[in-house]
Amino acid sequence: MTFNINKRPFNKLKLISFECVHIYDDFWSKRQKINREISIQHQYEKLEQDFHIDNFRVASGIKKGVQIGEFYFDSDLYKWLEAASNILYTHKDADLEKKVNEIIDLIKKSQIQDGYINTFYSTRFLHKRFTNIYIMHELYCAGHLIQAAIAHQKATGSIELLEVAIKFADLLVNLFLGGKRKDVPGHEEIEMALIELYRITENSKYLRLAEEFINRRGNIPNFKTFAINQYLGMISTLNLAEKKNKEYQKAVELPLDITAKKPEVNEWVSKLTLKDQLILLKEYLNGNFNQSNVPVRQIIEPVGHAVRAMYLYCGMADLYSETGDQKLLHALRRVWLKMVKARMYITGGIGSERGAEGFKKDFALKNEDSYSETCAAIGNMMWNLRMLQITSNCKYADLIELLMYNAMLVGQSIDGIEYTYDNPLVSRGNDKRFEWFRCACCPPNVARTINSIGKYIYSISEK
């Protein structure tokens, strides 16, 4: 067998792609079997049930209506596609392949002529697209589309979905590269996805756009005014979406609880204590929440939303791998050391601030405050894999192992059909796993990780 090795110019180690690592170990082989035979099908059913798939039927014109659900719903389907593609890479499954192909066909038909895809906007108010990328997750969804497309191309050899992703990425390049627009993606993800796209296309415009997005962080003029305007813009957009939902519900006589639910972000904030709400507001206005507090090369500590932070550090590490920018590497080493020494639980979990789903100050790690989101653990694994390849230092491999067995796997039940979003370290019997969440980022994230776990096991050097 020929190893599928990604060699990057400034890495000391080479990645061995997961499909080249055959796992016979009783523990992980069982987890992978459950993942591909039970979890992936169960998640598909939940995605269908909660309109993630149906939204593309509406966006493609197959059905009439509006997108139902949250503004980030597309991303969960894209992560599922990546997970399914990872499975198809190593195991033939005609039924799964059929589902994947049907979804890809819907995505293709949903793409606007200029390349745009986002069911939240395209089914309601296309004119409002890209007006609030700091909050509304359009580029976060785009990043997961790109990663799903790359996984599918590697698994099947088909460029069908990849062509869709490239067309969308080209639209982003035309809109944002070269300072045409000064917007900053609020939830990091697009940065590493664009660099992954650069690696398979060898088109440097994707690398340049990723670098520009990374460099804009912490450099937004009049940040508090910008942040307030973005927040008000989000409220306006969500209110308009709710109005259109109610109009559609009335017209077609759908049950009110399907189309007219309050946005999940409103419900989530309303359930926080007043103290947590104030902390979230403070973290948002000072830039910490979205890692916009300082330019990336000046980062000295992890702050804000933990998943966002991990995805930013992944993007920074990928950018270093291509450019050799030493200031990026120094910043990554500083923030890693601060996280490990003062802002990480013994399990490897990160995030002790419920309101911001993220970091508190040094050693504020009470067991009862542990948030330790499952997605944050996965993001931490992704970042440490990159740091391992860059430096060849085994401390990053040690942390990956800790995260794999503790902070990540706790997010899925033994039978593979229930999940935890956050993971407290103290329970009084009220905590349990759920089959699904309205914000369902964690289940497909676990699925895409487990069947690609082989890439975390081996790397090789030039020797």
pLDDT beyond 50 at 410:
yes
Q: What CA–CA distance (Å, rounded) separates 463 from 64?
A: 59
Q: What CA–CA distance (Å, rounded) separates 459 from 184?
A: 34
What integer is the mean pLDDT of 435-453?
95
Number of folded domains that form the chain: 1
- 3-state secondary structure at position 412: strand
Report which of 198, 58, 75, 90 is spatially closest to residue 136, judged by C-alpha positions: 75
130-180 pLDDT, tens per residue?
999 999 999 999 999 999 999 999 999 999 999 999 999 999 999 999 877
Residue 15 φ then ψ, to 5°: -80, 135
Secondary-structure breakdown of the chain: helix, strand, coil percentages, each rounded to the nearest 5: 60, 5, 35
What integer is the mean pLDDT of 291-310?
97
339-355 pLDDT, tens per residue?
999 999 999 999 998 88
What integer is the mean pLDDT of 1-11?
63
User: How much is the pLDDT for 255?
Assistant: 55
226-256 pLDDT, tens per residue?
999 999 999 999 999 988 888 877 766 555 4
User: Terminal CA-to-CA distance of the chain, rounded, Å?
Assistant: 19
Top pLDDT among 275 and 113 is at 113
Residue 298: which pLDDT band, with cuts at 50, 70 and 90?
A: very high
User: How much is the pLDDT for 3?
Assistant: 38
Looking at the chain, the whole-number percentage of residues with pLDDT higher than 90 is 82
pLDDT beyond 80 at 215:
yes
- Are 322 and 8 in contact by the 8 Å Cβ rule? The answer is yes
pLDDT beyond 60 at 292:
yes
Residue 4: which pLDDT band, with cuts at 50, 70 and 90?
A: very low
Report which of 185, 217, 213 is spatially closest to residue 72, judged by C-alpha positions: 185
Helix (H) or strand (E) run with residue 461 in it: strand 459-461
pLDDT beyond 80 at 389:
yes
105-117 pLDDT, tens per residue?
999 999 999 999 9
pLDDT beyond 60 at 204:
yes
Pairing of strands 13-16, 459-461: antiparallel
| Residue 80: partners with Cβ closer than 8 Å, 6 or more residues away | 40, 43, 44, 47, 444, 447, 448
- Are 111 and 228 in contact by the 8 Å Cβ rule? The answer is no
Residue 309's domain is classified under what CATH number? 1.50.10
Residue 119: which pLDDT band, with cuts at 50, 70 and 90?
A: very high
**Model pTM score:** 0.95
Residue 263: which pLDDT band, with cuts at 50, 70 and 90?
A: low
Domain span including residue 243? 5-461
25-71 pLDDT, tens per residue?
999 999 999 999 999 999 999 999 999 999 999 999 999 889 999 99
Question: Residue-wise over 409-432: b if at least 16 C-beta within 10 A, else e?
Answer: bbbbbeebbbbbbbbbbeeeeeee
* Mean pLDDT score of the chain: 93
